[in-house]
Structures are given as C-alpha cells and as structure tokens.
Amino acid sequence: MRRKDKEIKDNRAIESIIKAATVCRIGMSAHNLPYVVPVNFGYKDKRLYFHSAPEGRKIDTIAQNNNVCFELDIDCELVQKSQDPCSWSMKYRSVIGFGKAFLVDDPEEKKTALDIIVEHYSGKPCQYAYPEDLINNMAIIKLEIDSMTGKRSGY
C-alpha cells in the first residue's frame, strides 16, 4: 500500500468493516478478460460466502480461474473542502483482499453458508429451514481469503 498512513493493520478493525458492509465486489478473470460483480455475502472464519444461480458468467469464470479478489467499503462520503473540485476528497473505510473461490457441493455446507449470509444481513442467527429444492438449485461460492488489507481516509 502506497499510503501507509491510511493502512488499517488491526484484524478486528478490518473485520468490523466487512461486517458493516452490505455489498461485496468480486473481481475475477478468465481468458484474459476481467469481470467484477457486486454480490450479497456472509463472512466467517476468513471466508466469504455468496449465493448464485448455478450457471452464468460468474460460475463460468470461477471454473476457468478460481483466483479472485474482493472489495468492500463503508462510510463513503464526498468531502467538499471548497468550491474547487480539485480540493475535494472522499471519506471511506475499505477492505481489499485476495483468495480462491470454490463451489460448495455439500447440501449441509450450503445451508451453513446461507445461515452465515442471512445472519450478516439480519444481525441474528438464522432459524430458517431451507427448502431442499432451493438448496439443490442454487450455487454457493466459498471464497477462502489468502490476504486482505484495510484502508481508511478521513477517519
């Protein structure tokens, strides 16, 4: 990271950004073409989980190359210090990371991943019994995080 003064090194602070974020952007590449997609997600034990249709560009891209990156941000706000737009800046907290994405096949692991996603958005443990056809007809992507860094500006 070029601006070491903006780097967040504390893992708890990085995880607090992840837990507060509502959208995760996944960056992928296949056939030398980049692809970024925003997704709903859940996070637990240095893993991100996403649900998806079982087919489509995201699934095809991960099948070609499971090396991915991700980005999350919170508290984004334009700071207008004057009328001069060249002096404006942004306040934000963000996390960027790298890892490997895998499709989850086991139905029980899929349910656990869905519970993690639901808890991320509801703030409480999931007590829902998922219909079996739902589990069988959806893809769950597990992103095992190899590294991640946090950054803040204006805070």
Residue 151 burial (CB count, 10 A): 17
Q: What is the b/e burial string over 75-113, where b = at least 16 CB atoms within 10 angstroms of the residue's CB?
A: beeeeeeeeeeeeeeeebbbbbbebebeebeeeeebbbb
pLDDT at 45: 95
Q: Which residues contact 97 (CB under 8 A, 6 or more apart)?
A: 69, 70, 71, 145, 146, 147, 148, 149
pLDDT at 89: 74
- pLDDT in 10s for each residue of the chain, 155 residues: 677 677 898 999 999 999 999 999 999 999 999 999 999 999 999 999 999 999 999 999 999 999 999 999 998 777 777 888 777 777 889 999 999 999 999 999 999 999 999 999 999 998 889 999 999 999 999 999 999 999 988 77
Q: What is the C-alpha separation between 39 and 68, in angstroms, rounded?
A: 14
Domain region containing 69? 4-153
pLDDT at 126: 87
Number of structural domains in the chain: 1
pLDDT at 1: 62
CATH code of the domain containing 11: 2.30.110.10
